[in-house]
Amino acid sequence: MSLQREDLIVHATTPELTDDEVRTIRGDFPILAETVNGHPLAYLDSAATTQKPRAVLDAEREFLERRNAAVHRGAHTLAAEATEEFEAARATVAAFVGADVGEIVWTSNATEGINLVAYGLSNAAFGDGDPALAVGPGDEIVVTELEHHANLIPWQQLARRTGATLRYLPVDDDGALRLDLVGEVITDRTRVVAVSHVSNVLGIVNPVAVLVEAAHRAGAIVVLDACQSAPHAPLDLGELDVDIAVFSGHKMLGPTGVGVLYGKRTLLEALPPFLTGGSMITTVTLDRAEFMAPPQRFEAGTQRVSQAIGLAAAVRYLDAVGMPRIAAHDRQLGARLAEGLDAIRGVRVLGPVGVERVGLAGFDLAGVHPHDLGQVLDDRGIAIRVGHHCAQPLHRRLGLGASARASAALYTTDDEVDRFLDAVDEAAGFFGVRS
């Protein structure tokens, strides 16, 4: 496809992908032709990990077969070609999220990226970074009550290491952030505000602009978990004005084992390294080392070269389809999921109704453990997620120990959603929810 990508906003008039286009897209994903328990696979677990198109599989395989070598090392032809393709992948990903190439750091996943920043802030006082970034007693770190554990536990640990105080912005009974409390929670003591762009449980898009404004007014940096937004809508990190952002390749059609840390250039230059060793240094003696400029400063050791190249192929695939149209398709599927589930007796859809949502719906079927529901659906070839989705505090706030979650992607069809809704409705009858 040759649709053009916009950079900032998805308009209500943006056309959705047609049924024919979605069928064409599905043909690029070999696994979607599989059957499970005698039924065609309906894969509704894309928020956990997406499936990979042939373009991604082929890009990684071709590199390994024809140009595999260690990057930034050696003077032979393969090493030069590998380095060129590796850095071209960085440029591709940077353009996709509105960043400069020097602002993109390769990581293993989003979790590593957040830990990199958290450890860097705790080490800033020791001379390898800007001491002004150091977090210590009297400082405050703000998270929200709906964060994935990956954007919570590193900040808990930072507070423990440094003596800082961890605070959180709560959610209301529906799961929406309490924006009326922003002024009380984010203060002149706040050094970091960490927030998910999209909740991986609720599917709702959080008001990042409000939090960025409050954080910057207080002199704090904003760390954005973009794992659930990068695959679903145009993402311009420069326009959002966040200081740090992370996302994972495997959630956006790319390989596992590769993630991205975005950081404003001035912040990366001031941040000390997390992992140290080869490839991230300029000079080493037995007594000390001098580190390279970002992004290489944060890329110690042998890199995930083929995975980065595969992620670049995924980005090109998404761009070719068109992120605005993917977003329109995604919104339509999210509404179809939420409205269809809400119409089933005994189902509680998680998250506020009538707000912007990606193609994801978390829900609870009264009196039925999500694992039991998941097994019933799996018997019918329908793959969903069950559990606490690495968000125990949010589930606790909503009065649940676990939930079920259906999540879509650009290859998801209306028929798959309807098949899923019919199966949930049948399960409600099977478990006696209507009695």
Token pair of 67 as six digits: 């140009």
Q: Which residues contact 202 (CB under 8 A, 6 or more apart)?
A: 146, 175, 350, 351, 352, 357, 360, 362, 394
Whole-number Å distance between alpha carbons of 289 and 278: 11
Whole-number Å distance between alpha carbons of 118 and 12: 38
Omega of the bond prior to 295 within 30 degrees of 0, cis? yes
Asked whether 111 and 151 are in contact (CB, 8 A), the reply is no
Asked whether 297 and 291 are in contact (CB, 8 A), the reply is yes
Whole-number Å distance between alpha carbons of 82 and 300: 17
Whole-number Å distance between alpha carbons of 120 and 140: 16
Q: What is the pLDDT of residue 352?
A: 86
Which residues are bridge partners to 190 per DSSP? 140
Asked whether 202 and 351 are in contact (CB, 8 A), the reply is yes
Report the 10 Å Cβ neighbour count for 390.
17
Asked whether 206 and 199 are in contact (CB, 8 A), the reply is yes
Whole-number Å distance between alpha carbons of 397 and 171: 8
Query: CATH 3.90.1150.10 region(s) of the chain?
Result: 19-52+323-430
Handedness of CA 397, 398, 399, 402 (dihedral sign): negative
Indicate the fold that domain 58-318 takes in CATH: Aspartate Aminotransferase; domain 2 (3.40.640)
Query: CATH 3.40.640.10 region(s) of the chain?
Result: 58-318
Establish whether 227 is a catalytic residue. Answer: no
Whole-number Å distance between alpha carbons of 175 and 75: 55
Q: What is the pLDDT of residue 8?
A: 29
DSSP state of 1: -
From 36, 48, 218, 390, the catalytic residue: 390
Whole-number Å distance between alpha carbons of 359 and 46: 9
Please tell me the total number of residues recorded for the chain in this structure: 435
Tally: H helices and E strands in the chain:
14, 17
Asked whether 110 and 148 are in contact (CB, 8 A), the reply is no
DSSP 3-state of 347: strand
Region 19-52+323-430: CATH code: 3.90.1150.10
DSSP string, 188-231: TTEEEEEEESB-TTT-BBP-HHHHHHHHHHTT-EEEEE-TTTTT
pLDDT in tens, the chain (435 residues): 333 223 323 445 678 899 999 999 999 999 999 999 999 999 999 999 999 999 999 999 999 999 999 999 888 999 999 999 999 999 999 999 999 999 999 999 999 999 999 999 999 877 677 888 999 999 999 999 999 999 999 999 999 999 999 999 999 999 999 999 999 999 999 999 999 999 999 999 999 999 999 999 999 999 999 999 999 999 999 999 999 999 999 999 999 999 999 999 999 999 999 999 999 999 999 999 999 999 999 999 999 999 999 999 999 999 999 999 999 999 999 999 999 999 999 999 999 877 889 999 999 999 999 999 999 999 999 999 999 999 999 999 999 999 999 999 999 999 999 999 999 999 999 998 864
Whole-number Å distance between alpha carbons of 11 and 2: 19
Q: What is the pLDDT of residue 10?
A: 41
Between the alpha carbon of residue 259 and those of residues 20, 58, 312, the distances in Å are 32, 19, 11
